[in-house]
A = this chain, B = another copy of it.
Amino acid sequence: MEQDLLGTSVALAERLRATLGDIVLTGAEMAEYCRDWHGDVQSGAVAVLRPRDTAEVSAGVRACAELGLGIIPQGGRTGLVLGGVPDAPEDQVVLTLERMTRIRQIDADDFSAVIEAGVVLEAFKDEAAKQGLFFPLALGAQGSCQIGGNVSTNAGGVNVLRYGMTRELVLGLEVVLPDGSVFDGLSSLRKDNRGIDLKQLFIGAEGTLGIITAVSVKLLPQPEHVATALLALNSLPDAIELYRRARRQCCDLMSAFEFMPPLAFQLAQEGIPDLQLPIAPEHPAYALVEISGSGLVDIDDLMARFLESAMEDGLVVDGVIAQSQAQAKNIWLIREGMNEGQAKRGKHMRTDISVPLSRLADFVAEAEAAVLAEMPGAVCVSYGHVGDGNVHLNVLPDLSLGEDSVDAQILKSKKLVNAVLDRFNGSISAEHGIGRLKKPDFVERLPETRRQLLLAIKNAVDPLWTMNPGCQIDRT
């Protein structure tokens, strides 16, 4: 049986190569394209296609459709929900956009740019910065993730509270549709109300409706002044109150507001051993606040006056404002290091949850209590983007219970957290998407009206279900 499948796969791959030439990879070279970011899953594929331009993407899509093969579009492989990893190796082809790396245009006068799907986010941000321009999407994976993947997953990150999700930064798209035709919508218009906005369908669709090959985006003036502070607080509710106050007092100039528990410092030092802590890890809660802007507003003064009044009122009990870019970077390293620290502790339960801001503190309290009541030896780590109601409530299993129980604890803690989440009308995926990993939890909660509408759209745009089959929703 395995022999047969292999034989079929090889034959299919050869037919693809005959049509598409040297953009087809097979054999051992495919391994890295069939693995997920965490390294938990290693899959396979009939072939990997590496097109260099939109025409080659289109040709690849047509060739796969003819052979009845599913296509898994792939960006920088930093996704966390298996959206870009094949789940039926003998029926699927990976199509990576990694060779489409042209920045087609940066227009400083228009505050816009056109970039291909395979451009790495950080590379684009750097290029824009050379012209005094700023692309505000900012996330941990920005050194690897690609703009096509960012748009396909509607990526979030740390600046959403000010600049919105990726969706709000997109002005236009070029998409290869399931029949190989090209949807050419690379406009840079700010206002364009010519009927239904079709590009919205592809943002967040994780490649299930077509393959995004290029993107037109908004740019902003590069913030010349950034004030970064790490603040000690008495509680998560105080953090939320501080956020509300910051919104009013700092106008729209707050660009990040991250919440962390004291354990974050320990985890960060486990993740990055030589990390310097700028503040004692002895308080119940911490907030990382960033205010930024260019031009005539005195950002440092604004931060100082904001903190002064917050300390007077007891909302902030201790804090440090970065005095240099190096110090600011060091503060952000804590936020990033805590992820690495969690990873070093081994397998754990990760979530990407959102609830209405007004219910965030209650949600965290109830969900953590629910977990600890059933699993007293586990450790809860809740942190995230307070301003968006987006919390990563993770659970580190009790390792003393032995290796075998870890998976059981992960499963159990996920169920406990999701049960609380459902009572709060929250989202099981605030920013990571659905992919294959969250599909069961997604579908289980999908109201019938919405399911029917999703299937109607999918059947209308991709009647053969060629595009990322197995991702988000199944055919039946």
Contacts and interface: CB of A to CB of B under 8 A. Distances in A.
A116 to B, nearest CB: 19
Which among A184, A201, A297, A354 has the greatest number of chain B C-beta atoms within 10 A? A297
Contact of A196 (B112, B389, B457): B457
A441 to B, nearest CB: 9
Interface in A180-206: 181-185, 187-198, 200-201, 203-206
Given A306-B296, A442-B194, A457-B198, A357 B247 contact: no
Given A183-B450, A461-B456, A188 B297 contact: no
B457 A457 contact: yes
B431 A191 contact: yes
A156 interface: yes
A280 interface: no
A417 interface: no
A442 B196 CA distance: 12
Interface stretch (A37-45, A139-147, A420-428): A420-428
B355 A198 contact: no
B187 A195 contact: no
Interface in A324-366: 354-359
Contacts of A295: 248-251
Contact of A358 (B107, B193, B248, B387): B107
A184 B356 contact: no
Interface of A: 107, 109-112, 132, 153-154, 156, 160-162, 164-165, 167-168, 177, 181-185, 187-198, 200-201, 203-206, 208-209, 220-221, 223, 244, 247-253, 293-297, 302, 305-306, 354-359, 385, 387-390, 425-434, 442, 447, 449-450, 452-454, 456-457, 459-461, 472-473
